[in-house]
Amino acid sequence: MHVEDIEYSYDGLRLVGQLAVDDSREGSRPAVLIAHEGGGLDDHAKSRAVRLAELGYVAFALDYYGDGVALAPDQVMPRFGELDGDRRKTAAIGRAGLDVLLASDYADPARVAAIGYCFGGTLALELARKGADLQAVVGFHSSLTAPEPAQPNDIKAKILVCIGAIDPIVPGEQRLAFEQEMTAADVDWRMNLYGGAAHSFTNVNADGSAMPGIIYNERADQRSWRAMLDLFAEVF
């Protein structure tokens, strides 16, 4: 297994992501871009890259804040708010990470997906809305809001969003608005709801102490991972 930190940049910002690939196998393979949660690039996103590499993908866990590290708690909301308020910049930073992934000799440019967790899922969806050439996009407990909703022919990818039914950050009205957006844009989409799951249900470190409603749910984590792999099997 080859795991490598890769330094790159966007608009003068130093970014450091992690590439993971099983280099014992030769040839190109499907490529997966991974966008971390709102707290910054940490072991959660990096471990998902390694899991995907073990399954035969090449994966790149991008960095959308800078320096490839998790942020201090008092830094999260200002940095998150800056990106959430400028979705075009969010998509552009995602594109910079995608370019790094596609530069790998192991990446098959005809078989590419983007996945993301929390605001990282929002980033992956914004890449799709901005027309990125992706075959699949998966958002895990991601915000579904769209300041600039997708129009017909904008989204090339098949879309899967995995949402906790009691997620206080992604309430029912937001899910309905997403359904209406995807339907109007004629997108091949699906939404999985997980009963009893709140926000950050894929992160074992989410115990509700940072914020109410941010809690790991093993069942939803496992089921959503399998749903993602099912979609990958379909498109790749």
Q: pTM of the entire structure? A: 0.96
d(CA 146, CA 126): 8
Instruction: Using the predicted structure, report yes or no on whether residue 25 has a pLDDT greater than 90.
Output: no
Write out the residue range of the structural domain in which residue 23 sits.
2-235
Q: What is the pLDDT of residue 76?
A: 75
Q: What is the pLDDT of residue 68?
A: 85
CB 163 within 8 A of CB 193: yes
CB atoms within 10 A of CB 214: 22
Q: What is the pLDDT of residue 60?
A: 98
d(CA 164, CA 112): 26
Longest dimension (CA), the chain: 47
CB 162 within 8 A of CB 224: yes
Provide Rg for the chain, Cα atoms: 16
CB 116 within 8 A of CB 139: yes
Better-scored residue on pLDDT, 83 or 147: 147
pLDDT tens digits for 85-128? 899 999 999 999 999 999 999 999 999 999 999 999 999 999 99
Identity of residue 184: A
Q: What is the mean pLDDT of residues 7-16?
A: 95
Q: What is the pLDDT of residue 212?
A: 81
pLDDT bin (cut points 50, 70, 90) of residue 79 is confident
Instruction: Using the predicted structure, report yes or no on whether residue 75 has a pLDDT greater than 90.
Output: no
d(CA 16, CA 97): 9
> Between the CA of residue 211 and those of 74, 140, 146, what are the distances in Å?
13, 18, 24
Q: What is the pLDDT of residue 70?
A: 82
Structure tokens at 11: 């608009």
pLDDT tens digits for 194-236? 999 999 999 999 887 777 889 999 999 999 999 999 999 999 9
Q: What is the pLDDT of residue 205?
A: 92
Q: Which residues sit opposite 9 in a β-bridge?
A: 14
Q: What is the pLDDT of residue 210?
A: 73
CB 82 within 8 A of CB 65: no
- Domain harbouring 44, CATH code: 3.40.50.1820
d(CA 78, CA 66): 14
Give the pairing type, strands 2-10 and 13-21. Answer: antiparallel
Domain count across the chain: 1
d(CA 13, CA 104): 21
CB atoms within 10 A of CB 210: 13
Q: What is the pLDDT of residue 207?
A: 87
| Nearby residues of 214 by Cβ (< 8 Å), 6 or more positions away | 198, 199, 200, 206, 208
